[in-house]
Chains A and B, each alone.
Chain A
C-alpha cells in the first residue's frame, strides 16, 4: 500500500470544535516473512474521548471504506484486564501512561498535533503475525512448562482453613495481577521475559497450594523461557516501569532466589 494516506472523509465527529489532530506512523507488515515499513496517516478529527484503540477503529473504518487493508491489531476486553493489546506508542509498550494499558489510554492524554509512532511489540520470541499483531504463544508454552498447580484443590475451603500470612497473601496477589501482555518483554532492551516468569513463579511459590511443585516449576519455566529465545535480565527495571499492572522487579529477585534454591535442593 502507499505510504502516505490522508484519511479525512467522511468526518462526522459531533465534537468537532475540540477535535484533535495527529500524524500517525503505523507499522505495516503483511506477515512474519515479509519486511515491514511505516505507513503515514493524518487524522484531523479525533475526539478527545476516544480510547487509543477506538482511534484505530475509526482509522480502519476509513481504510475499509477506501478499499484499503485495515490495520491489524490485537484487542479483546478493552477494560485493561485481558492483556491482549500489544502495541508500542512512541517506543513505549501501552504508551507513556504509567500502569495503563493501550485500550485504557485516551486520546486527550496526547498533545494536539503530536506525531505518534505505532509499532508492534518487538522481540524475536514474539514473531510478528501481521501489522501490530505479534504471536505471544511463547508465554503460553512457559505457563504449560510449570506455571500451574496440579494438585486437586477441591472446592473453596473455609476461610482460614489454609493459614496464609497477610504479607505473603498480599505479595502473591500483587504478582497474580500480571495479565501476561508482554509489555515487560517489549520494553526490555534485552527482550527478557523475566518479569512475566517471576510474577507467575512468585505468585505460586508464596501460597501453600504451590509448594508441592515449587522447585520443579521454577527450573522448568526458566528452561522453557530460555528455549524461547528471550534475552537475559540486566536489572535495569524498564519492565517494571512499562508494566500496566505495576508488577515489581522484587519478583525477579524472588525468581532468582527460587531458582538458586531449586538448583541446590531439587534432585
Chain B
C-alpha cells in the first residue's frame, strides 16, 4: 500500500497533483498575506500594520512552525516544477524545424519556470528585507515605507509581483485541470475565482510599491526621510514642510 502510494505520487499525474495542491496552498497563504499587508493603508501612521506584525511575532514557536510549513510547500512545489520541466524537455530530443502553437499555449503557460524562478529570487530578497533583518526602532511599517521609496526597491518589488501575477494566470486554471475539477459542476465558479485571484493578488501586491513610491500616503513621506536606526525626529511636520 505505502509503496504503491509513494510510487503513484511520483507518477506524471501524481507529481502534477502534488504541484497543484502545494500551489493552491501557497495561493491561500498569499491571500492572507495580502489581507494582512493591507493594514498598512488602514491608517496614516502605520500603527495598525505594526500591531499586526507584533501580534504575528508573538505566536513564537507556532509562527516558526507555520513558516517551516510554508518553506516545505515552496520547496516541494519548486522541486517538482523543476523535475517536470526537465523531464518534459527531455521527452523530445529532436525538435521540429518549424514550431506552431495553435492551442491555448500562452506567454504565461510557456514561461512558468522563468516566472517561478523570478518569484523565488524575489522571495529571498523579500525575506532578507523584512524577515531576517533587525527590526528598526521606528517599526516595520517605516522599514517597508523606506524600502519601497527607493527606486531599486520599487523595481525589485514590481518585477516580483508581476512575475507572480503572470505565474498565477496559468497556475490556478492548470491546477484545477490537474486535480480533475474542470468539466464538473465546479468548473465555472472556480474559473471565475481563479481570475479574481490572479488579478486580485497581482494588482493587490503591486499597490504597495506603486502607492508608497508615489508618496501618496502621508506616513510615507515622513518615514522615507528617516534613516533606519535613527529616531524619527520630533518635527516630522517640518520635514514635510521642507519637502514641499
Contact = CB atoms under 8 A, between A and B. Distances in A.
Contacts of A91: 96-100
A237 B104 contact: yes
B17 A260 contact: yes
A48 B163 CA distance: 49
B182 A250 contact: yes
Given A91-B97, A190-B88, A254-B183, A238 B13 contact: no
User: Range of interface residues on chain A?
Assistant: 35 or more
A236 B103 contact: yes
Given A122-B95, A230-B91, A260-B17, A219 B8 contact: yes
B174 interface: yes
B178 A256 contact: yes
B183 A253 contact: yes
Interface string B81-106: 00010011111111111111111111
Contact of B84 (A92, A232, A253): A232
B11 A226 contact: yes
B183 A250 contact: yes
A250 B5 CA distance: 25
Interface of A is mostly: mixed
A252 B103 CA distance: 15
Contacts of A263: 5, 8-9, 14
Contacts of A242: 102-103
B12 interface: yes
Contacts of A255: 13, 180
A250 B15 CA distance: 19
Nearest to A231: B91
A234 B93 CA distance: 18
Nearest to A252: B177
Nearest to A248: B183
B97 A192 contact: no
A256 B17 contact: yes
A217 B182 CA distance: 22
A78 B181 CA distance: 38
B173 interface: yes
Interface of B: 1, 5, 8-9, 11-17, 84, 87-106, 109-110, 112, 170, 173-174, 176-184
Question: Top 6 closest A-B pairs, CB basis?
Answer: A257-B180, A231-B91, A190-B88, A238-B103, A91-B98, A250-B183
Interface of A: 25, 38, 88, 90-92, 96, 117, 119, 122-125, 187, 189-192, 194, 219, 222-223, 225-226, 229-242, 248-250, 252-260, 263, 267
Given A124-B92, A255-B13, 5 more contacts: A117-B98, A194-B12, A231-B90, A249-B182, A252-B177
